[in-house]
Structure 1
Amino acid sequence: MSRIWFGRGVSNHAQLLPWIRSHEASRNWRLLVSHFDRYAPCLDEGDECWLEEKELYGDDYVDYALHSCKEHEVLVFIPGREFIALSQRVQEFEAIGVKILLPASTQTLITIQNKNLFYRQIEDLPLRGPAFEEFGSVEELDRCFEAMESRFAKLCVKPAVGIYAAGFRVIKESINPFENFFEPHPFWIERNDLRSILAHQESFATMLLMEFLEGDEYSVDCFGTQTGELFMTPRCKRYGGQSLNAPQEVLDGVRTLAHHFGMKGLFNVQLKHQEGITRTIEINPRMSGGIAMTRFAGFNFPVAAIAEALGESIELPQPTLGAQIIRRENYTLRQRDVL
């Protein structure tokens, strides 16, 4: 049995593992999963599972991953975090017979993690990023406002390096406290409040003042083969549901991005599209949190990646787009005690 380990990352493994098992290629695979939270649903889905230490970063996490691969006789490791640190020590995994799934080189991973570097690299591509200015102090923020406020109707702020929505805010000149009390907007902030908060630090890690991108949000899950083929399933997030579809210019632009950065394996691209204009938000060096929804397009992304890593030949059908997706939640009894 080939042993496949899914390290802790986004919270989608509870949906991924049954999807993988639905494919006949998985009959000779044993799926291992780990997480620091003993109540994480994914721990119930793994053929084997264990609890990770929570506060491990950089080389400490890589050391832990190497030890876990040896202890659990892992053949394929699919990480969900610390991609740059792992990429710098790939040879150590290869030396113990482990194939680690990373979609790009160390330098590319550094570039796509740092949004300022990333946006500069793609400014001449069809799907460039938003206009932005960098700042690391309140004084620099004021200069950025002077440069941008007359050019764009709405601005936002986010860290150059960050995950999820940490540090992201849409900037408003004023917010009505009474209205916001009853209908709160957690990602809004008044300009003066932003200055006041940031003034608590004389300087801080690079942040970006950016044009705020309106329109539909697209998440495009991708698998790039080692021979250069690219399989994509887009999701449009709209009105509480999702549609597995996107304008052709979005798909063509993602293909250009993937080629430009030499992306292979599993990755995800986030974009905004409105009235024929598309902007790239980010490339994630992993599967998206919502990738399980793409199963309705008929292409099994994790199975394709695992099979390629193991050197197994399987049919790779082109995704069929157009499905409309809604979400339903259910609850179930825990099947095992996680110590």
Structure 2
Amino acid sequence: MTLNIWLNRTYATNYWFLQMLRNNPDHRRVRLFATHTDPTSPVLQAADVSFLEPQLVGDDYVDWVLEFCRMHAIDVLLPGKGIEEIAARHGEFDAAGVMVLASPAASIALLDDKCATYASATTLGLPVPPWRRARGADELEAAVLSLRGELETHEKICIKPLSGVGAEGFRLLSDDAMSLDDLLAPPAHRVRLDEVTAALRAADAEGRSVPAMMVMPYMSSPEISVDCLSTTFGELLAALPRAKSGRRRTFLDDTPRAVDIARQITEAYQLAYLSNTQLRWWRGELALLEVNTRPSGGLFAASLTGVNLPWAAVRLATGGDAGLLDPVLGASFVTVETLVPLPPEAATGTLHEPSLNVNPEPPAMLAAERSLVRPLS
């Protein structure tokens, strides 16, 4: 029996996520669905069936997702866009026979707010760096001044929106004048505080909504990203910590504290199926950076450990058994860019809704737009 699996609007590297589902170790037949608002998304090219999504938000979007599931007999939905709203209505999906791979809506909402995450983590006894919440120019100036009083002179401050994906909105505050070396270096996220406050005041004067910001120390140590698989009760079944330092990525086999923190997070918030906990070193100990209640963009690298986490999550949802999980850690790798050929209608921007792309026999390894794992010896 073919299993229908759908990834709605998601990021480009989930191209490889779909390949891992197709090449699952159980050799189960799957039909992979993908939808996106951007016709050039490589995820659409990796799927067996792909559609353009309508421009909807909130409950209207969830209504469309639910109807799509019914129309196409979707068995498993791994939501990207609208994950909180979809999780809040999981009962309707259950009634339609759809397994939604998502954590509880309350946990998604809490962990999507970086300041709320830190406040909650503190009550759990988890290490977090000092932080401030600020909205608008005046609060930002006060927050930066207050935080500087807790930091050493060499420690820098960064800002970012309370909610965001990747490095969107991240800026490193610096009052240093630009040097020639700075000018000739690759583009950086460095800005002066007065530039930020001027932008905020200008937006306020125009009547624009100004988002709240998180103000915190910049933790320059290599990031550790822990890809997690857990039950619907938050029981951690697998945790794959990988460190990022420059180009090099390494699956760590000597940092049990990273797994301990990830376990505490998944248990406390009952994170289900696939999630990701990000950590950095702060003053000699691992501290929480943020938590993603969705699979990370780099999850495809887990294939180097011998564990197919996407398929394990699907198995867990459909049969209650994740299968054999015996990862081999220690491998290092780099990622490189490559290509995803686009059909003419996508390349010219003439693809319209509804548009169907059916790949009855998709190749096992098409080219990808973003990243391809290359192990290092």
Query: Residue 359 of structure 2 aligns with which residue?
Result: none
The answer to whether residue 262 in structure 2 is matched with residue 261 in structure 1 is no
Aligned mates of 2:68, 2:177 — CA distance in 1: 50
Amino acid at match of 1:187: H
Moved more, 310-319 or 130-139: 310-319
Answer whether contact 1:34 1:49 (CA < 8 A) is retained.
Answer: yes
Query: Residue 238 of structure 1 aligns with which residue?
Result: 245
Aligned mates of 1:51, 1:268 — CA distance in 2: 28
Q: Residue 210 of structure 2: which of 204, 208, 212 is its match?
A: 204
Aligned mates of 1:45, 1:271 — CA distance in 2: 31
Cα displacement string for residues 258-305 of structure 1 (whole angstroms, at most 9, x for unaligned residues): 111111211111111267411111111111101001111111111011
Unaligned runs of 5+ in 1: none
Amino acid at match of 1:268: N
Amino acid at match of 2:214: L
Cα displacement string for residues 83-117 of structure 1 (whole angstroms, at most 9, x for unaligned residues): 211122111111211111112x2221111011111
Describe the shift of the 1:4–1:332 C-alpha distance in structure 2 as closer, same or farther (beyond 3 A). closer
Answer whether contact 1:44 1:336 (CA < 8 A) is retained.
Answer: no
Answer whether contact 1:175 1:190 (CA < 8 A) is retained.
Answer: no
Unaligned runs of 5+ in 2: 347-354, 356-377
Aligned mates of 2:27, 2:53 — CA distance in 1: 25
Aligned mates of 2:239, 2:314 — CA distance in 1: 17
Deviation at 1:312, TM superposition (A): 6.1
Describe the shift of the 1:32–1:130 C-alpha distance in structure 2 as closer, same or farther (beyond 3 A). same
Aligned mates of 2:191, 2:131 — CA distance in 1: 18
Q: Residue 172 of structure 1: which of 171, 174, 179 is its match?
A: 174
Query: Residue 102 of structure 1 aligns with which residue?
Result: 102
Answer whether contact 1:31 1:48 (CA < 8 A) is retained.
Answer: yes
The answer to whether residue 293 in structure 2 is matched with residue 285 in structure 1 is yes
Q: Residue 194 of structure 1: which of 186, 196, 205 is its match?
A: 196
Number of residue pairs matched by the alignment: 337
Query: Residue 255 of structure 2 aligns with which residue?
Result: 247
Answer whether contact 2:8 2:36 (CA < 8 A) is retained.
Answer: yes
Aligned mates of 1:229, 1:188 — CA distance in 2: 38
Query: Residue 62 of structure 2 aligns with which residue?
Result: 62
Cα displacement string for residues 218-275 of structure 1 (whole angstroms, at most 9, x for unaligned residues): 1111110246342111111112121011611111111111111111211111111267
Describe the shift of the 1:212–1:35 C-alpha distance in structure 2 as closer, same or farther (beyond 3 A). same
Amino acid at match of 1:277: E
Q: How does 1:296-315 map to 2 (within 5 A)?
A: 296-311=304-319, 313=321, 315=323
Q: Percent identity?
A: 27
Aligned mates of 1:11, 1:23 — CA distance in 2: 20
Answer whether contact 1:26 1:303 (CA < 8 A) is retained.
Answer: no
Answer whether contact 2:87 2:105 (CA < 8 A) is retained.
Answer: yes
Aligned mates of 1:61, 1:288 — CA distance in 2: 23
The answer to whether residue 141 in structure 2 is matched with residue 134 in structure 1 is no
Query: Residue 225 of structure 1 aligns with which residue?
Result: 231
Q: How does 1:70-89 map to 2 (within 5 A)?
A: 70-89=70-89
Describe the shift of the 1:332–1:208 C-alpha distance in structure 2 as closer, same or farther (beyond 3 A). closer
Query: Residue 294 of structure 1 aligns with which residue?
Result: 302
Cα displacement string for residues 181-218 of structure 1 (whole angstroms, at most 9, x for unaligned residues): 32254311012212211121447332121111121101
Query: Residue 150 of structure 1 aligns with which residue?
Result: 149
Give the SS at the match of 2:28. Answer: helix
TM-score by length of 1: 0.92
Aligned mates of 1:49, 1:145 — CA distance in 2: 46
Q: Residue 181 of structure 1: which of 177, 180, 183 is its match?
A: 183
Answer whether contact 1:10 1:288 (CA < 8 A) is retained.
Answer: no
Moved more, 56-65 or 22-31: 22-31
TM-score by length of 2: 0.83
Amino acid at match of 2:45: D
Deviation at 1:129, TM superposition (A): 2.5
Aligned mates of 1:125, 1:332 — CA distance in 2: 44
Query: Residue 327 of structure 2 aligns with which residue?
Result: 319
Deviation at 1:18, TM superposition (A): 2.0
Give the SS at the match of 1:25. Answer: coil
Answer whether contact 2:236 2:263 (CA < 8 A) is retained.
Answer: no
Deviation at 1:35, TM superposition (A): 2.0
Query: Residue 51 of structure 1 aligns with which residue?
Result: 52
Aligned mates of 1:303, 1:20 — CA distance in 2: 5
